[in-house]
Amino acid sequence: MKKFVSAALLIVLLIHLVGFYAYFVVRLGQIRQQMRETIVQLPASEFEIFVFALEEYEQVKVNDHEVKINGRMYDHSKPVFKDGIVTLYAKYDEAENNLIGFLEEVIETANQDHQKVPIQLISFLQLHFVTPLQLTLSLPDEKIDFSHGLSEKSILQFRQIDTPPPRA
């Protein structure tokens, strides 16, 4: 029984973690797709212009469509390369920045939690419970053969088995 409860708890936790990861991945994909569609339609006046040396560009580049500058995510149109200088026309991606910030906050909170698990919880999880089990013997209406050494008295006898209380 204890193994079953442990396995069930582990499965619930794994489903929760996988669900959170799946939500994060799907939502991030949606945000990136929306921003790519938006960038195509934006007028030039809506973009921020960044100029980098080629080495600097490689450091801030996240992927072919995004850069991270001063901790902020920007989506950009096609970069312009000229004489070792890279010019980016970029738009701040607030939704992606918030999603990534949320994930970082969750991870940071988990890392900062140095409080031990309460001893009461550990004690509760280590308890062994004996559940009362009541057996019912149904006898057929036919005549019972007592040639195997059993008497009618021993078959029809019912005893209540008391279970001890759980150990603390």
* Residues near 167 by beta carbon (within 8 Å), at least 6 away in sequence: 127, 128
Q: Does the structure show a pLDDT above 80 at 15?
A: yes
Q: Does the structure show a pLDDT above 70 at 161?
A: no
Q: How do beta strands 61-63 and 66-69 pair?
A: antiparallel
Q: Does the structure show a pLDDT above 70 at 1?
A: yes
* Residues near 131 by beta carbon (within 8 Å), at least 6 away in sequence: 1, 163
pLDDT for res 3: 84
pLDDT band for position 140 (cuts 50, 70, 90): low
